Amino acid sequence: MQVFRGRRDYIHSTDLMAAAPFTSDLVSFRFDFRQPIRVAGSWTQSSVAKPDAGLSISHPSGTVSYVFEPNPALGPCKPVAEINEAVIIARTHYEQTVGECIMDADHTLWQHIVAMARGGASVLFPGSQWYFVQLQGNLVALTCGHPGSRLSLALARQRQGYVYLDFAIDSQPAGRVGLLRR
């Protein structure tokens, strides 16, 4: 992965998810994101305890763990079009502890989920900024998130500065996203 968005000088969680090594026999996955990544790199199989970005993918035959390994030899990151989360948030209807949006063709599923979660957490807890830290999902998350699909999020739990939101695609449970209050 050798891109970043707009003027920022780091790789975003949605960039990493777009490059994740998902396969069609996936049962579930868990993506943990600890901090922005500032150099190009790639997903590699590893069991590093606390990487900047880690991904576990469960298949019927077992679980494979990956880390995002920075590799300066890949060269400098290149800019691509910026994600405008405000566009997604403006199209999302938030009502108490639930948010809902029809996915558009201009943004990926991951961009919708992260933007909606941050927007929803800001509605639930005004005055706070939220940092994406975790995404768990199942095969529904990878096969059903298309333009025109209805993506919904609902507050699952909150504790010690973290908020967890369950997400569904066209009413099918698809996973959970975790955010940390900044």
> Pairing mode, if any, of strands 93-95 and 98-102?
antiparallel
What are the tens digits of pLDDT across the range 135-168? 999 989 888 889 999 999 999 999 889 999 999 9
Q: What is the pTM of this model?
A: 0.83
Band of pLDDT at residue 101, cut at 50, 70 and 90: very high
- Residue 156 lies in domain: 85-181
> Which domain-ending residue is among 50, 80, 110?
80
Give the model's pLDDT for residue 1: 44
Looking at the structure of the chain, the number of domains it has is: 2
Residues 99, 76 within the same domain? no
Residues 66, 125 within the same domain? no
Inter-residue contact 167 to 149 (CB < 8 Å): no
What are the tens digits of pLDDT across the range 36-76? 777 778 888 986 666 778 899 999 999 999 988 887 777 66
56 exposed, middle or buried (CB, 10 Å; 0-12, 13-18, 19+)? middle
